[in-house]
Structures are given as C-alpha cells and as structure tokens.
Amino acid sequence: MGRVYLVGAGPGDPELLTLRAVRLLQQAQVVVYDHLVSSAVLEFVSPKAQRIYAGKRRNEHTLRQEEINTLLISLATQGKQVVRLKGGDPFIFGRGGEELQALAARGIDFEVVPGVTAASGVASYAGIPLTHRDYAQSCIFVTGHLKNGTADLDWPSLVRLNQTVVIYMGLGGLPEICRQMMAHGAAPNLPIAVVQDGSIASQKVVTGTLIDMPDRVARAGLKSPCLTIIGNVVKLHDELAWFKPPVALTTV
C-alpha cells in the first residue's frame, strides 16, 4: 500500500513552499496537481515523477471530485507515493478534507502538509494586513461562488464593524457581493481590494469602494484567480505595498 501526501502549494510564489513540501515533491512517484498550482512550484517536482493534472476552473472540471478521489485511491493501492498538490492550503476551500475522508474509508495512509493560504499570502504581497489594532480585530474567510446567480452567504455577519472579510473565488459575483453588502448595512465607501495573481510576477491590485469596485475591476480587465479583501485595512495598501513584480527584460 502506498501513501498520499496532501500538500499545500501556497498562493504561487515558490519561495513560500515549506521545506517539507519541497522534499516531498522531489521524492514523489506521482504528483496530482490543481489549476492554481503555479508553474514555478511544479519545477520542484522530480523529473522522474508522473504528473497528473486534475485542475478545476469555473464551470470547467478536468476531473470531477469523485474521480479525483478514485484516482488517489487507485494510485495508493498500486503502492505509489503520491503528492496531492493544491494551491494555497488544502484545508481552506480546497476540498482536502473530502479527499482524506475517501482515503480514510479505504484504510490508506496519508499526511497533511499545510500551505500558505491565499488570504494571508496574497494580502501580505498586496501590503494589506488582515488585522490591525486601528482597523480590524477579526477576520473572516468566505467563498464567493454564486449558485443560481445569488451568493448564499451570512450577510449580517459580513458587515460587522472592525473586521476584515476575505472572499475566495468571488470575481464573477463581485457586483452581487458589493450590492448585498450595502443592502445589509455596509457603508458604500467601505474600502475593498481585488488582487489578481497574488504573489507572482503578474500580480495586479485594484482598490476602491463597494459602490465603485465592480466598474473599476471591469475597466482593469482582471481575470481569475483573484482574491477580494473588504475592510478598512485596505486603506493601508498604498502605504505598505512592498512587492514590485519584476519587469521583463528585452534584448535589442
């Protein structure tokens, strides 16, 4: 019987990988990886390892979740040492718990290697502290996937004062999210940031307020993957933004 290692790849910058993650990528026989795993992270995979892409994009799944579960079980029962590689942290909106439940039901050994989740990694690279004594004493993570055109979220809990709201996968539903926040009492001028490709060279940060953010994001042409940060901590972006994506060199 083999073993499955559920590994968090972080938000994109390979420098944010844990030492344990790097060792496992170099030793694995098979790596099953997701869409959000950056190409720079995959460079740590052993050239001898088999790579299997199991990515999911909005309305586009290479493999259904049940098929991924079956694949991991099959590889482990063949005696393989398998790395299941997920962007960010596998236990935060990564369905890592579901996959481990499937393995546990078959008596397959597994190990979890945490990763830097997008909320903390992307916010740090955007110069936005998720908590700050002057602005936010709590932080909440939610998923922004819409179902039937509506976001089924606990809106009253999201508009409380002195907190930061981080929304994963919320780009497509951003106009509805902003509308619902204001409808439930959030100030129209509440600061908000949307970060595309956080922590890698193509990072883009757009800031604004609930009332004007959908238009700003549309004009900027942002595309997934994006992370949305809502709260007064966004005011600190201009002061604390430290990450300067490298400029590509051109030859004459």
Residue 59 belongs to a domain with what CATH number?
3.40.1010.10
| Cα gap 89→108, rounded to integer Å | 21
Phi, psi for 192 (deg, rounded to 5): -145, 145
Helix, strand, coil shares of the chain, percent, nearest 5, are: 30, 25, 45
Cis ω before 225 (30° cut-off from 0) = yes
The pTM is what?
0.92
Q: Tell me the C-alpha to C-alpha distance, in Å, between residue 183 and each of 188, 218, 240.
A: 10, 22, 31
**Domain span including residue 204:** 119-240
Q: Domain for residue 40, yes or no? A: yes
Q: Which residues are catalytic?
A: 34, 56
Q: Which of 195, 202, 182, 197 is nearest to 237 (CA)?
A: 195
Domain membership of residue 71 (yes or no) is yes
Q: Tell me, yes or no, whether 168 and 226 share the same domain.
A: yes
Q: In this structure, is residue 248 part of a structural domain?
A: no
Among residues 81, 116, 151, the one where a domain terminates is 116
Co-location of 146 and 209 in the same domain: yes
Q: What are phi and psi of 84, to 5 degrees?
A: -95, 105
What is the pLDDT confidence band of residue 251, given thresholds at 50, 70 and 90?
very low
Average pLDDT over every residue of 109-131: 98
Query: pLDDT band at residue 58, thresholds of 50, 70 and 90?
Result: low
